[in-house]
Amino acid sequence: MNAIMEYTVKLKPIHLSITSHPENLKSIRKVMKNIMSKTSLSKEDSGCIILAVDEACSNIIRHGYKNDYNRKIDLTIKLETNLLTISITDNGIIFDKNSIETRDIDEIKPGGLGIYIINQVMDRIEYTRTSEGFNKIKMVKEVNS
């Protein structure tokens, strides 16, 4: 009996704490690439998830911290049997998802597509403001069909 088995390795939660410098995004992408290699997702789907995480962190740096490169961004990445959960926390400007103006994706100009990309790639996105004054984005992706 031949069977093709999809697999995902369950990992202990990974915690990253970086300063909000754009150069640190490379480290996040590297960690995410390593985690994605443990899933059964295609290289293309894995790349899209890495891009979504990169966009979320870039938005924190650019909009939440107004390019202050000395602030902190915390990530927790949890890979379970069928679920990838990425939580990103910052203490920047309050993020109001209702204040985001969407633009036509066919309009050619740089920037402004981060939220669109995140929404297209992830299965579930939750934005909250904690009682301690932190912004938290939780992105969830099912990793097996």
The domain segmentation of the chain, as residue ranges, is 14-96+111-142
Q: Could you tell me which CATH class the domain 14-96+111-142 is placed in? A: alpha beta
Q: What pLDDT was estimated at residue 65?
A: 97
pLDDT of amino acid 5: 45
pTM: 0.85
- Distances from the Cα of 130 to the Cα of 8, 46, 90, 127, angstroms: 31, 29, 10, 10
pLDDT digits (tens), the chain, 145 positions: 444 445 566 778 999 999 999 999 999 999 999 999 988 889 999 999 999 999 999 999 999 999 999 999 999 999 998 899 999 999 999 976 665 555 555 555 445 567 888 989 999 999 999 999 999 999 999 987 4
